[in-house]
Structure 1
Amino acid sequence: MNILVIESSPHKHGSSNLLADSFIRGAEETGHTVTVFDAGHAIIRPCLGCEVCDMSGPCCQKDDMETVRGLLLQADMAVFVTPLYYFGVSAQLKAVIDRFYSFTGKLSAKKLKTALIVTAWDANDWTMSAVSAYYETLCRYMHFKNQGMILGTGCGTVPMTKSTEFLRLAYELGKKISG
């Protein structure tokens, strides 16, 4: 299976990307091909809502979203990786998702398998409520097939993350993905 991992942290070696690395290791050991797109350092402008694309593209903006679009339309699965920012996905990932608008029909018709990996400093039981609801709604709307969520609470720093079960859980999620 061709898996696209979209990382969105401004910290290349931060906690969310650490969990993504564990997922990738598990997926590659199972024989999947993994491509990583670093949305945290890409140039992706926000959707203008200009309707030029008419939800079927192309988008009038010429930036790194053209690369993401091509990768997503070739992928069998996408993994959204983000630090938790005020109980939602990072602005970098949100910009990518908002730009799905220019190819919503094509992307939703794929019935793409997806997963979500999130890290947060906080460990309260309600910390991930809003981001998981957002992701589940996105899956419902886009006809994505949710393969799982790693909701890494108490993962505010790399050392904190390394002391949790979430590295193992991300690895196991990568291992269990089937074509």
Structure 2
Amino acid sequence: MKIVVLMASPNTDGSTRILAESFAKGAEEGGHSVEIIDVCTLNIAPCTGCVACGYEGDCVQHDDNEIIRRKLLSCDMVVFATPLYYYGMSAQLKTVVDRFCAYNSSLNRRHLKSALLTVAWNSQDWTFEALEAHYKTLVRYINFEDMGMVLGYGCGTPSMTRAGKYPEMAYKLGRSL
């Protein structure tokens, strides 16, 4: 299986990357190919809502979102890797997701597998409720097959994350595919 990880943390060596790399290691050991795309390094503008794409066509914005589109339309699985920022995904990942608009029908027809990897400093039981609901709505709307979530509570620093159970959980999720 060909897997694309949309890594969306502006902290390039942070806890989100730890989970993404742990997942990738497990998936690769399971015989899958994995590409981690650091969306924070790409030039992707927000969707303008112009609908010139007709929800299935060329976007009027010519930027690096075309890279994401090509990758997602040729893979078998997409993994959303994001830190929790004010109880949602990072702005960088939200920008990418909003731009799904221009290839919504194609994504829907692909029936991709998907997963969510996320980390937060907070450890209250409600910490990930809003992000989890958003992810589940994407899964339902775009016809993804959810393969699982790793919700990293109390992962405020890379050392906290490495010392916890979440890298192993991400590894096992990747390995189980």
* TM-score range normalised by the length of the shorter chain: over 0.9
Is 1:128 equivalent to 2:128 in the alignment?
yes
Cα distance between partner residues in 1 of 2:112 and 2:176: 16
Cα distance between partner residues in 1 of 2:81 and 2:159: 18
Q: What's 1:13 paired with?
A: 13
Cα distance between partner residues in 1 of 2:68 and 2:166: 27
Mapping 1:28-107, distance limit 5 Å: 28-107=28-107
1:87-107 Cα shifts (integer Å, max 9, x gaps): 000000000000000000000
Q: Give identity over the alignment, percent.
A: 48
Q: What's 1:118 paired with?
A: 118
Deviation at 1:149, TM superposition (A): 0.3
Deviation at 1:57, TM superposition (A): 1.3
Secondary structure at 1:88's aligned position in 2?
Answer: coil
Cα distance between partner residues in 1 of 2:175 and 2:142: 25
Deviation at 1:157, TM superposition (A): 0.5
Q: What's 2:162 paired with?
A: 162
Q: TM-score, normalised by structure 2?
A: 0.99
Which amino acid letter does the alignment assign opposite residue 46 of structure 1?
A: P
Unaligned runs of at least 5 residues, structure 2: none
Deviation at 1:173, TM superposition (A): 0.1
Cα distance between partner residues in 2 of 1:108 and 1:160: 37
Deviation at 1:79, TM superposition (A): 0.3
Cα distance between partner residues in 2 of 1:115 and 1:17: 15
Cα distance between partner residues in 1 of 2:164 and 2:145: 27
Cα distance between partner residues in 2 of 1:105 and 1:115: 20
Deviation at 1:122, TM superposition (A): 0.4
Which amino acid letter does the alignment assign opposite residue 174 of structure 1?
A: G
Unaligned runs of at least 5 residues, structure 1: none
1:42-98 Cα shifts (integer Å, max 9, x gaps): 111000000110001110101110000000000000000000000000000000000
RMSD of aligned alpha carbons: 0.5
Between 1:29-38 and 1:97-106, the stretch displaced more is 29-38
1:9-42 Cα shifts (integer Å, max 9, x gaps): 0011100111100000000011101111111221
The structure 1 segments of at least 4 consecutive aligned residues displaced by more than 4 Å after TM superposition are none
Q: TM-score, normalised by structure 1?
A: 0.98
Cα distance between partner residues in 1 of 2:81 and 2:73: 18
Cα distance between partner residues in 2 of 1:147 and 1:51: 31
Secondary structure at 1:74's aligned position in 2?
Answer: coil
Cα distance between partner residues in 2 of 1:126 and 1:50: 35
